[in-house]
Structure 1
Amino acid sequence: VHDKISHQNVRNVMRQIGKLVRGEGIRYESPRYGWPENCYFQKSVKICPLTNVVKLISEGRECEDRWGRDHGNGWLINHPLKKLLRFQQFALTNPDFLTSKCRLVDYCEFR
């Protein structure tokens, strides 16, 4: 079993989660498959580690049903939110992690 994610996957996930943390929302801007103008997932809503991610995943599916599916195989909304959910689960089962001086690089594959 491979528990590490690649550097590129970390960048993709953090880019999308960063948009949600800042309240920018996520918009599918593909020239061919993109969403209509002004259609954003969670625009003006700032998420945090305590956000109900299961609910967000459901709302993300609703956005795709309404405005068009993600032709990037989940990298628009689904994968980043599932990684955030896994982080929440990890933090709940390892509460000392949040107060430790951890090295996140140990959890990522940068080689």
Structure 2
Amino acid sequence: MILKEVSVERFIFTCTGCGHAWVVDYDAQHVEDGHGHARDYFFRDGLPCPDPTGPGETICPQCGRPTVLAHLSARRASPAVTDKAPQGPGETPTPARTAARAKAPLLPGAQ
């Protein structure tokens, strides 16, 4: 598998039943298997989850119906994955920085 891109993708959801609308950010990994076949992996709050645009995958938090429309409204690619080689030597994290990163709470998926 070849990691092609890591991004944060913001989806706007609208329930076709009650009209409730909400926004959720997902971490996405876009990979290729080396034979031209692409696959996307989605994460919310650090946990793997299904593609939020899949039929019936997102449930309305207000009425519980699975009839939800999903619209990708914005995205931000990670600067760690680019088409160009990174500039500069990079930095080796200190043990204290690695420990602090492991202890830091995850950002919530909906902000």
TM-score w.r.t. the length of structure 2 is: 0.24
Q: Which one has the largest radius of gyration?
A: 2
TM-score w.r.t. the length of structure 1 is: 0.24
Bigger helix share: 1
Bigger RCO (CA 8 Å, 6+ sep): 1
